[in-house]
Amino acid sequence: MKEVILIKDGEIALKGLNRKTFEDVLKKNIKLSLYGLGKFKITSAQSTSYVIPLSEDFDIDEACERVSRIFGIVSFSRAGICEKDLDKILNFAPKYLAEQLENTKTFKVEAKRSDKKFPYKSPEICRELGGRILEKFPHLTVDVHNPEMTVTVEVRDFAAFVHTDPERGAGGIPVGTGGNAAILISGGIDSPVAAYMMAKRGVKLTAIHFASPPYTSERAEQKVVKLLKKVCRYSGPMTMYTVPFTKIQETIKDKCPEELFTIIMRRLMMKISERIAKDNNCCALITGESLGQVASQTINAIECTDEASKMVVFRPLIGMDKQEIIDISYKIDTFKTSIEPYEDCCTVFTPKHPRTKPILKYVKQAEEAANFREMIEEALQNLKITNINQRED
């Protein structure tokens, strides 16, 4: 049985002159995402893209899974291909959809005839196919207003496609059409969700992770890689930079006032991240901060953190409750990994009483006195690079 995946573009339809670029990026993203599943081609017509398998072994189940995670797609359907001949369509459709029809009570048929040369008009196709389905599945009734299932026949240029109700796509806009940004990623619950949310708005990601061995372990870093592998099923492949942060954190501990440890550490993360971001053509930083969640996420603390870099910082979780963030982390399958109990550099040397209203002047004085300049350069020269993609290895 030959099948295709029909894909309907999402917000792309609204983008006027940019439409072509958006379509091209989406097509490239679909290609990349389906890599390794067998031979296929993609064609586009009438705001629909078709994934057409070209080899017998093409894994269409897995392809549908992957398509469901590509941003820029509003809905998609797995459809059976049939010759453009009414008799053949009438034979094929009830067989192809047998399992779904058996498990439904009410249905209707819809026909879309974009090939105007096809000798039967849409109402005739609906009537004939509706009748044939009722013959084969006598338990069914037709309900044109509120059917449990809609059987659709699309008569297109090169074939007819038969499918039921489309599945909802991932929405958003295609990754790569919204510029580049760097996500500061920890092993926690929040930052992977923040990464997902910005990728959904078309942003291509670079990841930055701060590690402080031996206070943080190799396994903590592996946990971050595991999280990013989940995120890249939505965002596409990315490069991860691991920043050696031990010396800087030890210096903060030795030379800075205890109540400012966290805020200074966060400022240094921003300074270093800004440099890595620039080197990677990124114009923004992304964090998983949410207002008021911890001492370093009060308005004053965020103001103080922001001053450390000139780059725009996106905080897509800023107004969300923890439970709302957790719900998304379940959806994108990062939750279970996030709660594995490995230490993060943020939890090394945490002060007993962190300042919730740090005063910028004193923070900067403390930073100047400890003089991090050379340490920042040294860290930047010793970045570890990991390529993140969907592949198992």
Tell me the per-residue interface mask from 216 to 255 with ligand ATP, x by CB under 6 A, - otherwise: ----------------------------------------
Residue 76 as a binder of ligand ATP (CB under 6 A): the answer is no
Residue 176 as a binder of Mg ion (CB under 5 A): the answer is no
Residue 147 as a binder of Mg ion (CB under 5 A): the answer is no
Rounded to whole angstroms, the Cα distance separating 283 from 279 reads 10
Instruction: Please report, to the nearest 10 degrees, the dihedral formed by the alpha carbons of residues 325, 329, 332, 333 taken in order.
Output: -170
Secondary structure (3-state) at 39 = coil
Size of the site for ligand ATP (CB under 6 A): 20
8 Å CB contact between 342 and 235 = no
Tell me the per-residue interface mask from 195 to 214 with ligand ATP, x by CB under 6 A, - otherwise: -------------xxx----
CB of 263 to ligand ATP, least distance (A): 11
- With CB atoms as reference, the residue minimizing the distance to ligand ATP is 188
Residue 169 as a binder of Mg ion (CB under 5 A): the answer is no
Rounded (10°) angle between helices 261-279 and 360-370: 70
Tell me the per-residue interface mask from 329 to 348 with ligand ATP, x by CB under 6 A, - otherwise: ---------------xxx--
CB of 189 to ligand ATP, least distance (A): 5
Least Cα distance to 233 among 117, 356, 333 occurs for 333
Question: Exposed, middle or buried, 186 (CB in 10 Å: 0-12/13-18/19+)?
Answer: buried
Residue 10 as a binder of Mg ion (CB under 5 A): the answer is no
Question: Parallel, antiparallel, or unpaired for β 3-9 and 73-82?
Answer: antiparallel
Judged by CB under 5 A, which stretch of 200-208, 319-327, 338-346, 366-374 contacts Mg ion? 338-346
Residue 188 as a binder of Mg ion (CB under 5 A): the answer is yes
Among 288, 316, 354, 358, binds ligand ATP (CB under 6 A): 288
Residue 293 as a binder of ligand ATP (CB under 6 A): the answer is yes
Q: What is the DSSP letter of 390?
A: S
CB of 350 to ligand ATP, least distance (A): 10
For the residues of 103-159, what is the DSSP string, one character each? T-SEEEEEEEE--TTSSS-HHHHHHHHHHHHHHH-TT-EE-SSS-SEEEEEEE-SS-
Structure tokens at 367: 């930073």
Among 4, 73, 189, 199, binds ligand ATP (CB under 6 A): 189
Say which residue the tokens 């510029």 belong to: 179
Rounded to whole angstroms, the Cα distance separating 332 from 255 reads 41
Tell me the per-residue interface mask from 265 to 284 with ligand ATP, x by CB under 6 A, - otherwise: ----x---------------
Q: Which residues bind ligand ATP (CB under 6 A)?
A: 184-186, 188-191, 208-210, 269, 287-289, 293-294, 296, 344-346
